[in-house]
Amino acid sequence: MSAFTGTGRLARLVLRRDRIKLGAWLLGTPLLGFALAGSVIEFYPDEAARLSYADTALTSVVARAFNGPIFNADLGSIVVAEAYLTLTLLAALVSTFAVVRHTRQNEETGRAELLGAAVVGRHALLTAPLLVVVGANVAAALLLGLAFAAAGLPLAGSLAAAGAVGGVGVAFTAVAAVTAQLTVTSRGANALAAAAIGVAFLLRAAGDVLGERDGLQLVSAWPSWLSPLGWGNQVRAFGVERWWVLGLPVVLLVGATLAAFGLARRRDLGAGLLSDRRGPARAAAGLLSPSGLLWRLHRGSLVGWSVAVVILGVSMGFAADEVNDVIAENPAAAELIAAMGGGVDDLVDAFLAAMLGVFALVIGAYVVQALLRTRADESGGVLEAVLATAVGRVRWLATQVVGAALGAAVLVLLAGLATGLGYGLAAGDPGRWALHLGGAGLLQLPALLVVTGLVTALLGLVPRWSVSLSWAVLIGFLLLGQLGAALDLPQAVLNLSPYTHVPAVPAVEVTVLPLVLLTAVAGALLAAGLVGFRRRDVPS
Amino acid sequence: MPVIAIDGLVKSFGAVRALDGLNLQVEAGEVHGFLGPNGSGKSTTIRVLLGLLRGDAGQVRLLDGDPWRDAVTLHRRLAYVPGDVNLWPNLSGGEAIDLFGALRGGLDQRRRDELLERFDLDPTKKCRAYSKGNRQKVAIVAAFASEVELYVLDEPTSGLDPLMEAVFQEEVRRLTGNGATVLLSSHVLAEVEALCDRVSIIRAGRTVESGSLSELRHLARTTVTVETVRPLTGVAELPGVHEVRAVDGRVRLEVEPEHLDALLAHLIRFEVRALVSAPPTLEELFLRHYDGADDGQVVADRGAEPAQ
């Protein structure tokens, strides 16, 4: 029996378990690519608009940091600049989660023990998911390339750009193969890999900010070459393509796989290399209540979110100061920002309002994941043990709801403060701007309360569907918010999203009525959820 | 006033009837064994008692209250050890014990430390690092360190080693010595025999037998092995005699307790040289009910047993 015996069978098991997730990935990537390419093509119809875009992309620090380098002023380059971050983050995260799900999570749950006791080689448990995830990245990249070509971009550049995205996916597949060997929990392995993605982004951003302009090209500085996200750019899709750069993720994959095999040989099944710290023998008084437990379980994630929101907020604030330069020569983009930001003439205010709206949408994800922990506790069985104590159901769920809503309030406040601070630092008067936008951020809270109410209602009334429906609803709001204005959807459809009803401060004046109505809707949904939770079976 | 009184409890999950007219009566101060094959509805019954599930029909009284309506007040008076203990992976065992104690309304610190010592449990380890047996110990310590009237234990010792099993039995006796009542769902027959005053056996959501162990034994057959001088004839035709077989020149048979007397009268006529009579073992007793192949109490539809 070799170390790889059973790899084929295990790969089929991975395919069977993930058939829906993989299908969504393989279908969603080209669709997203096609939609993004289509919107860019519509936006930059003529040479002048494209040259002005390229000029901004090459000079603006914010554009370099977030969109990366460009190597030409054609449509393809603009598509890459606009879509690269979204597509690569998606590929990196989906690959990471998939690898960890089929490696560390299997060990954590004990499934790996069952499998390892069968006629299965030592390395098959890791090799099988790697084969599937790498294969899926290659397939998704091919489909993405065809989608770019179908949208009207040159074939060679399309394939190079898609290959760059696939390469990023493969690189983080490799990273996750290693992190899954290090930690004991799948959460930990995912967090380590996500941190690696963050470092890769910072290195790439630094390399591109420090890079030098050469005509219509940006020659990135050396830090970009340390980052798998940078490698994708260095393929120079739609410029003079350098196909050999696509070999770098493959080299990383081989090296990381060998390293992971080596690590796996040195450790026991189920153990990690980073060992668990011990905890206190007695609980601190602050832990001994539902709210104390809630804080303990969510504080790490809230701190992480806060840091991310502050960094992004300050960056967006700085970016706002450049909005007038970037947009002045592009009426279509100006129109879009004005539409997202409440339809006013002052582009900076519109941009700031639009950014606060985007923050509120993303913070919706914090609310959803925080509340869905209740469902995970229910499926895992610990909720049963809790509800068998003298803690009432309504009290328990209400604690979770209040916790999620307070977390959301902190995050939108921080988002507003940080954005205001960033803009103030660039344009002057940071203190006043921070307070002004901090208040504007808090105005987003009623929309987030509606999200809180919706998830609570789903938990109480349709527990089995609560996880998928909660995310589906949030993604629906996200699409309405981001694409609604661009696609000219009818107002009745846009009104379905609570975010549509938040006044776009600072671009427009505060109106109280919509905020009151949103809060009332949230209250009704919360009540329905709590009553449903009180009445239903646990677990169900 | 019984501590638990369930009468005709019905609970369905979709098309599956998990509990089908179940009865259970647990008196104050007793250790009541709650037995049945996997999927027979033990955990479902316990969840109804804890107010987690709502019964579809039938009467359920717990500590003279309604387990669904009065859940919170009743839960102050009971402690629960689930069969499959799940904890918060990033809390230490000690923190989990204190948290459960506090959520239940208080914990005897001295007892807690004593129990940690007796069960040889390291409270500083993170819950994710515990084995199944150690997670069970966390739940047992958290429950036993609470002074309550009723302990509901759902297969609490399935992951414990024999040494810990002995400690567990001593601790259960200490609880009942203080006047508490225990409902013990278990597959460990030695544990049931050692601890339980009365048992209820359920199958496919129905109670098939309930009583003290000696009462149950009385209902089961005695195995008799007999050696006679003259060849034994005519036993198979006697009432209440089953499974007559010749083994090594002896005859082995099973007889229902109420027909033992008639059997002996019959045997004497063949000059008995040796006779061994063995009461049913607990295992035989349970297998008879679990298996249900040759008695009249078999529940018709085995396919209706829900997967738990």
CA A466/CA A472 separation, integer angstroms: 10
- The pLDDT score that the predictor gives to residue B304 is 37
Task: Compute the distance between CA of residue B108 and CA of residue B98 in angstroms, rounded to an integer.
Answer: 10
pLDDT of residue A118: 85
Assess contact for B143 and B174: CB atoms under 8 A: no
Q: Is residue B83 part of a domain?
A: yes
* B294: in domain: no
B100, A389 in Cβ contact below 8 A?
yes
- Under 8 Å between Cβ of A106 and A117: no
Tell whether omega for the bond before A514 is within 30 degrees of 0, i.e. cis: no
> Do residue B124 and residue A281 have CB atoms under 8 angstroms apart?
yes
Q: What are phi and psi of A268, to 5 degrees?
A: -85, 155
User: Which are the contacts of A336, defined by CB distance < 8 A and separation ≥ 6?
Assistant: A485, A486
Q: Among B194, B213, B232, give the residue marking a domain's end.
A: B213
Residues B140, B246 within the same domain: no
Q: Are A280 and A341 in contact (CB under 8 A)?
A: no
A-interface mutation test, from B12, B87, B103, most A Cβ less than 10 A away:
B103
**Chain B CA closest to residue A296:** B91
Domain-ending residue, one of B213, B231, B260: B213
A-B C-beta contacts closer than 8 Å: 114
- B129 and A297: CB-CB below 8 Å? no
Residues of chain B neighbouring A108 (CB-CB closer than 8 A): 128
Which DSSP state fits B56?
S
- The values of phi and psi at residue A151, to 5°, are -75, -10
B128 vs B264: CA distance, rounded Å: 61
List the structure tokens of B102: 């506090």
Supply the DSSP string of B283-294, one letter for each residue.
HHHHHHHHH-SS
Phi, psi angle pair for A207, to nearest 5° = -60, -40
Is the CB of residue A312 less than 8 Å from the CB of residue A412?
no
Residues of chain A neighbouring B102 (CB-CB closer than 8 A): 283, 288-289
Residues B16 and B122 in one domain: yes
- Do B207 and B274 lie in one domain? The reply is no
Give me the domain span that covers residue B21.
Answer: 4-213
Residue to mutate among A268, A277, A282, A297, with most B CBs inside 10 A, is A282
* Token pair of A130 as six digits: 């790697």
Q: A271 touching B, CB under 8 A?
A: no
User: Are the Cβ atoms of A384 and B125 closer than 8 angstroms?
Assistant: no
Smallest Cα distance from B230 to chain A, Å:
58
In a domain, B252, yes or no: yes
Give me the helix-helix angle, A124-150 and A247-266, nearest 10°: 160
Number of domains, chain B: 2
Q: Are residues B38 and B107 in the same domain?
A: yes
Judge whether A132 and A18 are in contact, CB under 8 Å: yes
The predicted model scores a pTM of 0.80
B148 and B228 within one domain: no
Sign (positive/negative) of CA torsion A87, A92, A93, A95? positive
Separation of alpha carbons A325 and A334, rounded Å: 11
Residue B103: which of A380, A386, A539 has the nearest Cβ? A386
- As beta bridge partners, residue B247 has B250
Are B64 and B194 within one domain? yes
Q: φ, ψ for residue B151 (rounded to 5)? A: -115, 125
Query: What is the C-alpha to C-alpha distance for residues A18 and A25, in angstroms, rounded to an integer?
Result: 10
Of B218 and A314, which is predicted with more confidence? A314
Predicted pLDDT at B289: 73
CATH of the domain at B202: 3.40.50.300
Is the model's pLDDT at B93 over the cut of 50?
Answer: yes
Least confident of A109-118, B86-95, B164-173: A109-118
CB contact under 8 A, A297 and B90: yes
**Torsion angle of C-alpha atoms A504, A508, A514, A518, degrees rounded to 10:** 20
Dig out the tokens for A522 from the structure.
């949230």
- The verdict on residue B291 lying in a domain is no
- The residues, ordered by sequence, that sit 6+ positions from B15 with a Cβ below 8 Å of its Cβ are none
Q: Which chain B residues are Cβ-neighbours of A184 within 8 angstroms?
A: 128-129
Residue B306 inside a domain? The answer is no
Beta carbons of A348 and A504 less than 8 angstroms apart: no
Q: Is the predicted pLDDT of residue B291 greater than 80, yes or no?
A: no
Residue B293 pLDDT level (bands cut at 50, 70, 90)? very low
Rounded to 5 degrees, φ, ψ at A271 are -95, 160
Q: Is A490 on the interface with B (CB under 8 A)?
A: no
Instruction: Say whether both B73 and B208 belong to one domain.
Output: yes
Cα A222 to the chain's mean position, in Å? 27
Any B CB within 8 A of A388 CB: yes
In chain B, the N- to C-terminal Cα span, in Å, equals: 31
Q: Are residues B14 and B99 in the same domain?
A: yes
Cis peptide before B231 (omega within 30 of 0): no
Q: Is residue B262 domain-shared with residue B156, that is, in the same domain?
A: no
Nearest CA distance, B198 vs chain A (angstrom)? 25
Q: What is the mean pLDDT of chain B?
A: 88
When CB atoms are compared, the residue of B73, B80, B94 closest to A281 is B94
The helix (run of H) or strand (run of E) holding residue A101 is helix A75-102
B166 and B86 assigned to the same domain: yes
> What is the pLDDT averaged over residues B11-32?
95
| Between residues B97 and B249, the one the model is more confident about | B97
Residue A287 to residue B99, Cβ atoms within 8 A = yes
Min Cα separation A290/chain B (Å): 8
- Is residue B272 helix, strand or coil? strand
Nearest by CB to residue B98, choosing from A283, A384, A390, is A283
Q: Where are the domains of chain A?
A: 1-274, 289-540
Does the CA dihedral B260-B264-B270-B272 come out positive or negative? Answer: positive
Whether residue B305 has pLDDT greater than 50: no
For A345-354, write each residue's pLDDT tens digit.
Answer: 577 888 898 8
Strand blocks (E) in B104-260? 150-154, 181-185, 198-203, 206-212, 222-228, 241-247, 250-255
**CB-count burial class (<10 Å; 0-12, 13-18, 19+) for A268:** exposed
- Span of A346-355, B67-76, B98-107, B154-163 with lowest mean pLDDT: A346-355
Phi first, then psi: what are they for B108, rounded to 5°? -85, 105
* Any domain includes B295: no
Q: How far is residue B135's CA from residue B127's CA, in Å, rounded to a whole number?
A: 7
Q: Give the pair of three-digit tokens for residue B196.
A: 């339980």
In this prediction, what percent of chain B has a pLDDT beyond 90? Answer: 60
Whether residue A538 lies within 8 A of chain B, CB to CB, comes out as yes
Same domain (yes/no): B199, B265: no
Q: Burial code of A218-240, b = ≥16 C-beta within 10 A, e = fewer?
A: bebeebbeebbbbbbbbbbbbbe
The pLDDT assigned to B307 comes to 39
For residue B302, being part of any structural domain is answered with: no
Task: Give the CA distances from residue A102 to residues A110, A112, A173, A358, B150, in Å, rounded to whole numbers and listed in that order.
Answer: 12, 9, 12, 33, 43
Model-level ipTM above the cut of 0.90: no
Low-confidence stretches of chain A (pLDDT < 70) are 1, 275-276, 326-333, 336, 339-345, 482-487
Tell me the CA distances in angstroms from B151 to A303, B74, B247, B294, one per residue in order.
40, 12, 48, 35
| 8 Å CB contact of B80 and A388 | yes
**DSSP per residue, A150-185:** HTT--HHHHHHHHHHHHHHHHHHHHHHHHHHHH-SS
In a domain, B166, yes or no: yes
Residues B157 and B235 in one domain: no
